[in-house]
Amino acid sequence: MTTSPSVPAVDAPARQASLTDYVLYFLRLGTFGFGGAIAGAAFVLGRRAIVDLPTAMIFLCTFTILRTTKKVVDPILIVLAGIAGLILSSAR
């Protein structure tokens, strides 16, 4: 009787999971399991938050920066978006 390579033999001992196995499982769960929920929440919140032209301009600039650059320090991006918001709100 032959077994397929993906099915372990009946008498094979179970391998003890290591800490690395648990960490990798947790990371995969966070990436695949919660990624859709986070993307959905970001879509709903963004649709309700982007309601005027200045906010849409800040969003497009921020999105472009995040897509084109490899490494951006988040606090700097937040401060720049805040400054842009202050400038656009004072120009009204």
Q: What is the pLDDT of residues 51-68, one digit of tens each?
A: 888 888 888 988 888 888
Do residue 37 and residue 56 come from a single domain? no
Distance CA 39, CA 31 (A): 11
What is the reported pLDDT for 6? Answer: 63
d(CA 82, CA 58): 9
Total tally of structural domains belonging to the chain:
2
Does any domain span residue 7? Answer: no
Residue numbers of the domain that contains 41? 19-49
What is the percent of the chain with per-residue pLDDT over 70, rounded to a whole number? 82
Give me the chain's average pLDDT, please.
80
pLDDT 10s digits, 23-56 = 888 777 776 777 777 778 888 888 888 888 888 8
| pLDDT tops 70 at residue 85 | yes
Quick check: is 59 in a domain? yes
pTM of the model: 0.51
Residue 52, phi-psi category: left (phi > 0), alpha (psi -120 to 50), beta (remainder): beta
pLDDT of residue 24: 84
Q: Is residue 4 in some structural domain? A: no
